[in-house]
Amino acid sequence: MTADEKWMQLAIAEARKGVGLTSPNPPVGAVIVKDNKLLGKGWHTQAGKPHAEREAIADTLRRHSPEDLSGATIYITLEPCSSHGRTPPCTEAITTAGIIRVVYGAEDPNPDHAGRAQTLLESMHIAVSTGIGKAECQSLIRAFAKRQTTGLPWVTLKSAMSLDGRITRPPGESQWLTSPESRAYVQQLRFESDAIVTGGNTLRIDDPALTLRSIAAEQLRQKQQPLRMVITRGNRAALPETAQLFNDAYSDRTLVQENGDLMAAMKTLADADCISVLVEAGGTLMAAFLEAGLADEVALFYAPMLSGGPDAAFAGLPNDTHLHHQEYTRIGNDILLRALITPPVL
């Protein structure tokens, strides 16, 4: 691993702290280095708050003099912004700080902006290196990039099933198919999501809470509850009024999409600043997301049993959906598969 790669890994670790918190912005991390020594680091904590570059510069100036900062290198997971948004351009902050080299991982996913920072910085005699840790940096902003380029959120299908792909327990069995460790991981998935989608049938049968709850108090303080979106094939009036989603403390954060219109539901969520959506639903709605080409990723938990129950975790798909970049992780007695449906363009 080169020194550049090593420092970029640290910037990536900073960026990860923001996953689930920054929408509609992407999570971004930055570190500032001089003479192979770390001067400061930072991450983008929330839309409207300073970008990662400014956080790293501020962190450096809390510990060091402006003279120390001058002549340093900044490592950023994403190409710095070069135009005025809710905050002034980061390219300006970088040049003002006297930074002489900029290393970034992913290009701005907006094709009109991609590479613009490089041109601008080089015109001011600042050295620019790009593509360090590119795959990881692009993965970090995959939800942001999808909304930026398509106007739709990144959709992850989450399901827990037996090893023969069945979802429902026979009557009398425990309602929990998977282990406590897997259920804790689902809380983390919800933490990283802006909205959770379920179906009208799941609402009727399971009456789920779909809240963040079994998670560190420190994390809970950072984030408001995800939006909940119920997609029903009928209309709103046919859903049970007593459902938790319509009556709990966050009922103002529950949306309903009628007529099973997945595309309209996703546009509604994107318009509500959601970049990442987690679908926790039955087999029919899962399959509908795949058929509509709206799903980007899966997170599938397999419990160590063969079940043969009546309800498939994915029901009635007309075509095979091939998966890419599969990662298998043992979680308790279960196995978790995370994989991409659309192969990443690198």
Active-site residue list: 53
Q: How far is CA 33 from the centre of its chain?
A: 28
Within the chain, what is the greatest distance between any pair of CA atoms? 71
CA 149 – CA 270 distance, rounded (Å): 12
Q: Is 161 in the site for a second copy (CB under 8 A)?
A: yes
The single residue among 2, 123, 175, 319 that binds a second copy, judged by CB under 8 A, is: 319
Strand 73-78's sheet: what is its strand order? 37-43, 29-34, 73-78, 101-106, 127-130
Given candidates 24, 115, 309, 332, which one binds a second copy under the rule CB under 8 A? 309
Question: Shortest gap between Cβ of 171 and a second copy (angstroms)?
Answer: 12
Taking CB under 8 A as the rule, does residue 201 contact a second copy? Answer: no
The pair of three-digit structure tokens given for residue 276, joined into one six-digit string: 């990442």
State yes or no: residue 207 binds a second copy (CB under 8 A).
no
Residue 34 interacting with a second copy (CB under 8 A): no
Q: Is 339 a residue that touches a second copy (CB under 8 A)?
A: yes
324 binds a second copy per the rule CB under 8 A: yes
Q: Total number of residues binding a second copy (CB under 8 A)?
A: 39
In whole angstroms, the minimum distance from the beta carbon of 169 to a second copy comes to: 8
DSSP state of 152: S
Cα 316 to Cα 334: distance, rounded to the nearest angstrom: 25
Give yes or no for residue 128 binding a second copy (CB under 8 A). no
Decide: is 317 part of the binding site for a second copy (CB under 8 A): yes
Judge contact between 209 and 236, C-beta under 8 A: no
Is the CB of residue 273 less than 8 Å from the CB of residue 47? Answer: yes
User: Is residue 165 near a second copy by the rule CB under 8 A?
Assistant: yes
Interface with a second copy, residue 288, by CB under 8 A:
no
**Taking contact as CB under 8 A, which single stretch among the options 100-108, 112-120, 167-175, 260-268 is the one that binds a second copy?**
167-175
Give me Rg for the CA atoms of the chain. Answer: 22
Shortest distance, position 316 Cβ to a second copy, whole Å: 6
Q: How far is CA 283 from CA 52, 202, 290, 337, in A?
A: 40, 10, 11, 17
Binding site for a second copy (CB under 8 A): 161-166, 169-170, 173, 287, 290, 298, 300, 304-309, 312-324, 326, 328, 330, 333, 335, 337, 339
